[in-house]
Amino acid sequence: MSAIARTTLLLAALLPVLAFAQEPAKKPYRSAKEIIDAAPASAWRDLDPANTLYMQLPAGRVVIELAPGFAPQHVANIKALAEGGFWDGTSIYRSQDNFVVQFGDADADDPAKAKQFPANAKDKLSAEFTRKSDGVAFDQLPDKDGWAPQIGFTDGFPVARDPKTNTMWMTHCYGIVGAGRNNAPDSSTGAELYVVIGQAPRALDRNLTLVGRVVKGMELLSAIPRGPDPMGFYEKPEQRTPIVSIKLASDVPETERTPLQLLRTDTQAFRDATEARRNRVDDFYQIAAGHIDLCNVPLPTRDPAAKEHAGK
């Protein structure tokens, strides 16, 4: 081997070291799961039992977090309906593929058979499609969105915001719970509710009052057999899924509550986990998307006892 060759080899061997010395130290990639598992206790929040619904189905419990900040009137009415046992014995009477399941009183439109509201529940509310955004905390995503000028999270819910009109609204992502209505914008009461089970139908944003989000038990709703086209309303009452009861968590003894924490969306752990999903680097991924859609951002939950997150 000539001296020149040896010098070249020596230089080549030194080059990576030099390059490394000049680059800022790069953090190794951590997966979203690793980031979430390492999140401090302060990054997690407990569900507020006074704003949590337990929907008991024969197959198990669905847990819904209510959004009083977005729909104060509807949420108040939903609480009155739950406390009055309105939904006990009603059903999931609609399941439309790639769209929604809907539940409540299947006979609501028939005055002769419709279930009575509890005395303190109202049968008329204002529409709550949007709210003022001034002064409302908003954990904004940097990602583009076709439906709205800005997207992000408020109180842990996926939301969109329009600074020009000073408004914000919850978005129709998977698992979001909305109040069904007739053509009149103020015709929803919260008694008939739907849950998104397919590709986010965001054309409905700002056209309906959204009241909360399923935080546990989505698989009990999303896998319910579909009703017939085009709307998914079952033809026969026996095809409906019975609702044993819907109660406020605060009305259930503490020992019977579902222990559940949610990762706060205003934390570094949440931002880091979202970035890890936006730009995945692992043995499987060949190309990182460099982007994430609002409705693709998982909102991790965990059982505080198990200290295990259920986020994907």
Binding site for a second copy (CB under 8 A): 95, 97-99, 129, 143-147, 173-175, 183, 185, 198-203, 205-207, 218-219, 222-226, 229-230, 277, 280, 283-289, 291-293, 295-296, 310, 312
Nearer to a second copy among residue 57 and residue 82 (C-beta): 57
When the beta carbons of 216 and 264 are compared against a second copy, the nearer one is 216
CB closer to a second copy out of 266 and 293: 293
In the complex with a second copy, the residue whose CB is nearer, 68 or 217, is 217
The distance of closest approach from Cβ of residue 186 to a second copy in the complex, given in angstroms and rounded to an integer, is 11
Q: Are 178 and 102 in contact (CB under 8 A)?
A: no
CB 249, min distance to a second copy, A: 22
Torsion of CA 264, 267, 271, 276, to 10 degrees: -80
Question: Which CB, 51 or 102, lies closer to a second copy?
Answer: 102
Give the shortest CB-283-to-a second copy separation in angstroms.
Answer: 5
Q: Is the peptide bond before 158 cis (omega within 30 degrees of 0)?
A: no
Which CB sits closer to a second copy, 7 or 199? 199
Shortest distance, position 193 Cβ to a second copy, whole Å = 17
CB of 26 to a second copy, least distance (A): 22
**Residues constituting the chain:** 312
- Residue 291 C-beta: closest distance to a second copy, Å: 4
CB of 25 to a second copy, least distance (A): 27
**Is 253 or 284 the residue whose CB approaches a second copy more closely?**
284
